[in-house]
Amino acid sequence: MEFTAQQIADLLGGEIQGNPLVKVSDFSKIEEGKPGTLSFLSNPKYSQFIYESQASIVLVNKDFHPEKEVQATLIRVEDAYHSLATLLSLVDQTKPKKTGISPLAFVSESANIGENAYIQPFVYIGESVIIGKNARIHPNCSIENGAVLGENVTLYSGVKVYNDCVIGNNCILHSGAVIGSDGFGFAPNGDGSYKKIPQMGNVVLEDNVEIGANSIVDRATLGSTTIRKGVKIDNLVQIAHNVEVGENTVIAAQTGISGSTKLGKQCILAGQVGLAGHLQIADGTIFGAQTGVPNSVKIPNQTLQGYPAIPVMNFHKSAIVHKNLPELQKLIYAMQKRIEELENKIK
């Protein structure tokens, strides 16, 4: 399908700078722009590419001021990245959606499958499972007894949903994600061995949650491990039993959250963040990459980094000192030697 710059601008509420009749039928990155494609510029680091890009249309923020002539037609919007997401979503929605259940899938007779669901080969759906309408279950997924999936849920290949877990509407689980595996619960015995504690709870994902490939959310010992609405979780993330993640929180790859920790709303956890168990994290907290969090964070809207986590400006100052430690050590040794020489002269 082709769209003119004018049609796109009307849809996004943008302002056109250039030819309103130019047409596009695909997308491209700004540094690889081709005629007939739409690109975008939101990060100033890529500004140099807009002057060479062959893209026919480029979305830019309203405050973008070109330093020289731009060949492409510009559409000025409040947020170019957000506008691109809107266009990509619309294009995705126009793609034809398959429906039906493959004869190579196993679906229990007691399962309840909603309208227009698409269940691909080698899917296992257990007893008393409920799946909402428009669900899309890709090959080799396993949905065990008593699990509930809402409407418009997508499970990519190899997702495992353990028994009695609940997944809300519009959730997306990427390949290899595991929902409801046992929490890491073991009681020490007197002889040094460990006795497994049965994990009798479940996992609840609220609406509009997305979980990346090979990420794991463990079931609760009792009650529920809860991922609130709008949470976005990257690949290779571990969330332990009885954790609660507040709504619209974002968690990047290789992060680990220990058992019974409660994250507030709209937190941001960068890559390889580690949180100890039984913590309370205030709303709006941001943890920089590789931050270790041994204690609760009670003041909201802070940015913390390092181990143990400290305010980010203090971390940056500490990093400068750490970098200079070898020279500071030499200086201290030199001062010690000089002091000894002066003491000897006095004696």
Spatial distance between the Cα atoms of 125 and 193, rounded to a whole number of angstroms = 36
Mark 59-78 as b/e (b = at least 16 C-beta within 10 Å): bbbeebeeeeebebbbbbbe
Q: In DSSP terms, which residues pair with 256 in a beta bridge?
A: 238, 274
Spatial distance between the Cα atoms of 46 and 49, rounded to a whole number of angstroms = 6
Give the helix/strand (H/E) hosting 94: helix 80-94
The residue type of 60 is V
Tell me which residue of 322, 270, 259, 314 sits closest to 292, measured CA to CA.
Answer: 270
Query: Which one of the listed residues 82, 241, 278, 316 is annotated catalytic?
Result: 241
The yes-or-no answer on residue 241 being catalytic is yes
Give the helix/strand (H/E) hosting 343: helix 325-346
Query: Mind telling me the catalytic residues?
Result: 241
